[in-house]
Each structure stands twice: as C-alpha cells, then as structure tokens.
Amino acid sequence: MVAIKKTIAKYAYWTLASALFIASGQAAAQGANFPTRSLKIVVPTSPGSGSDTTARYFAEQLATALGQPVIIDNKPGANGTIAAMAVKQAPADGYTIFLASNTHMAVNPIFVKDLPYDPIKDFKPVAGIARGMMIFVASPNSKISNVADLVTAAKATKQQLTVGTYTAGFHLSAEWFASATGTKYVNVPYKGAPEVFVGLMGDQLDWGVSDLIAAMPQVKAGKLKALAVSGEKRHPDYPDIPTVKESGYPEYVNYTWTSLYMRAETPDAVAAKLVDAMQKILVTPGAREFIAKIGSDPMAFPPPEMRKFQISETERFRRIADGAGIKPQ
C-alpha cells in the first residue's frame, strides 16, 4: 500500500511538472510570436480629448515597432469605468491595452463607490507616458477672466455656479479648488472634453476643468477663455496664463498623467514585448517632440517605477479628498 501511494504521488508530481513545463513552453512560444494580429488601445474619453490625441500618436508608433496595426477604441463615460471594464473583461493576451490616467488608476478608488475594478490587482503597467497641467476655462462671453473673478462670482451669487468636468480627476480638482477658496459649485459631468467645451461656448456652464492638450486649440481660436493652469509654474508655451498657485492659493498644484496598462494576468513574455517596445519609443526624438508639442512633460516610467508612482499618487489624492471632505459617490 505504501509503495502504491508513493508511486501515485510520484506520478502526480511528474504530471504536474510536465503540465507546468508545457504551459511554460506555450507561454514562451506565445511571447516569441506576439503579436500575430492587430492590437487595440482602449481610450476612456471621446475623440479629440488629450488622452485620445496621445493614444493615437503612440498607436502609430507601436504599430511600426510591432509590425501589426494598432486601433483606437474610444469608450467614454462613467469616469473611465466603461473603458477599464472593457479591458478587464478582454482576454489577458496583450492585444488589448488601456490608455489610463490618474483618474482611472489613482482617483477612482477614492472617489467612486463600489468601483468594479481594482487598479492594482486587475492591471499592470506597460509604461508611464507623460504628465500635464490642467486648465480652468470659461466662455469668451463670460465676465469671469481669472481665478479672482471666479471666486468673487461664486461668493456673490445665491445660486451656485456650474463647473463642467469629464473625469473623476477633474471633478476632484474642482472640489479641491472649492475647498481651498471657500466656495461651492455644482458639478456637471460630461463624457469628454468636446462636450464640456460645447457647454461653455453655449453659455450653459460657468467654467470648466480640462487637460491642457484638449483646451488650448479652443483657447487659441478665441472659443474659450483661459483662467489659470494648475502647475507649479506657468507653462513655458503659454506664459500669459497664470497659475492657481500664484493667484493666491499656494497649495494648489496638480497634474494629470497618462500611462499604458494591460491585464495583470498577461503572460510575462508578452508583457515584456510591449514594455520593451514602449521604452524604445519613449526615448526617440519623435516621442519627446510630440510630448513637448502637446504641452506635457515626459514621464517614461518603466513598470516598477510606474507602479510605485501610481501608489504614491493614490495616497496624495486620498489626502486631498479627506481635506476637502469628499466621500465616495
């Protein structure tokens, strides 16, 4: 009987070892062949937004590097949850990539009640891409021309001013501004930057929060009015636009950031190909020129550094939310 048990145990061991060896070989082969068909980058905002612009540029670069088409799949709405879930529910084979921002990977866990995905457990970084300032904007017809005007108008009216946002990150930024200035606003959520801009141009909103990339073409065309940017210093390309910090609120410094993520269960051999391709792309003069052109700073973090940064940002946003008295909604 003992001999039989030992034989069974030995057989089970070698069966498991063989299965693991075969699985390892299959994963290695999958990585060696990857990719064999088109890839997809899921973007959580509308076409024309800053994230969309960034995704389209790097999709072209990845297509060249990997030898396969890379298409863009815009899935705006629900603070990026729709897009995140589309990636979470896709096969963990490296063919579906998430163009995520601070909203989806650091703000939503704090801001959104019963979030159906876990930014840490469900996704792993491919690469950090860039960080950029936010901008406060208003209609060109508005009497509000700067931060002081905005605060004065908010305190003078009995009916709260409206602010248009299109991510939880921008909503949190507006709430943080309200807390810092002792004012209150009614948040009006939209699916993307273009919808916010239409609301402002139609005088349906009092002001809005946007990423700089999306807003500046409208500002330059005179269709929107720039009130302030959220950086530590004025943006070198737009030195006439003051910062919120210099407008009397020295603690108010905030940046958006973008990064690429994949399913956490993606095989290491496949993930390595995506990581290697992005790291090579990000150091090219063309990528650096693109990031500078859209008014952002490079943030070419490899996966370990990106994960560490993501966690630190989540902790920072949690402190902001606690200070502003913001609860998950």
Is 23 or 195 the better-scoring residue by pLDDT? 195
Long-range (24+ apart) CB contacts under 8 A made by 146-152 are: 146/227, 146/228, 146/242, 146/247, 147/227, 147/228, 147/242, 147/244, 147/247, 147/248, 147/249, 148/247, 148/248, 149/227, 150/207, 150/227, 151/181, 151/183
Question: What is the pLDDT confidence band of residue 295, given thresholds at 50, 70 and 90?
Answer: confident
Residues 6+ apart with CB under 8 A from 251: 180, 245
23 has pLDDT over 50: no
What is the DSSP code (8-state) at residue 222?
Answer: T
* Cα maximum dimension of the chain: 91
Say what the pLDDT of residue 10 is.
53
Question: What is the pLDDT confidence band of residue 265, given thresholds at 50, 70 and 90?
Answer: very high
Residue type at position 131: R
Helix axes 50-66, 212-220, angle to 10 degrees: 120
The domain limits of the chain are: 37-132+256-324, 135-247
Q: Are 55 and 25 in contact (CB under 8 A)?
A: no
156 has pLDDT over 90: yes
* pLDDT digit string, tens, across residues 203-212: 999 999 999 9
Question: What is the pLDDT confidence band of residue 49, given thresholds at 50, 70 and 90?
Answer: confident
Number of Cβ within a 10 Å radius of residue 124: 18
Give the mean pLDDT of 24-39. Answer: 74
Give the mean pLDDT of 262-268. Answer: 98
Same-fold call for 37-132+256-324 versus 135-247: yes
Mean pLDDT of the chain: 91
DSSP per position, 85-121 = HHHHTS-SSSSEEEEEEHIIIIIHHHHSTT-SS-TTT
What share of the chain in percent tops pLDDT 70?
91
Say what the pLDDT of residue 27 is.
47
Question: What is the pLDDT confidence band of residue 22, given thresholds at 50, 70 and 90?
Answer: low
Phi-psi sector, 80: left (phi>0), alpha (psi -120 to 50), beta: left
135-247 placed in CATH 3.40.190.10: yes
d(CA 184, CA 162): 9
Question: What is the pLDDT confidence band of residue 29, given thresholds at 50, 70 and 90?
Answer: low
Q: Are 99 and 43 in contact (CB under 8 A)?
A: yes
What is the DSSP code (8-state) at residue 203?
Answer: T
What share of the chain in percent tops pLDDT 90?
78
Structure token digits, residue 59: 């999709």
136 has pLDDT over 80: yes
DSSP per position, 267-311 = -HHHHHHHHHHHHHHHTSHHHHHHHHHTTEEE----HHHHHHHHH
Domain at 37-132+256-324, CATH from 3.20.20.70, 3.40.50.1980, 3.50.50.60, 3.40.190.150: 3.40.190.150
* pLDDT digit string, tens, across residues 201-259: 999 999 999 999 889 999 999 999 999 999 999 999 999 999 999 999 999 999 999 99
d(CA 177, CA 208): 12
d(CA 54, CA 230): 20
d(CA 208, CA 195): 11
3-state secondary structure 206-228: CEEEEEHHHHHHHHHCCCCEEEE
* pLDDT digit string, tens, across residues 53-83: 999 999 999 999 999 999 999 999 888 999 9
| Among the listed residues 65, 323, 8, the one whose alpha carbon sits nearest the alpha carbon of residue 172 | 323
24 has pLDDT over 50: no
Q: Is 16 exposed, middle or buried (0-12, 13-18, 19+ CB in 10 A)?
A: exposed
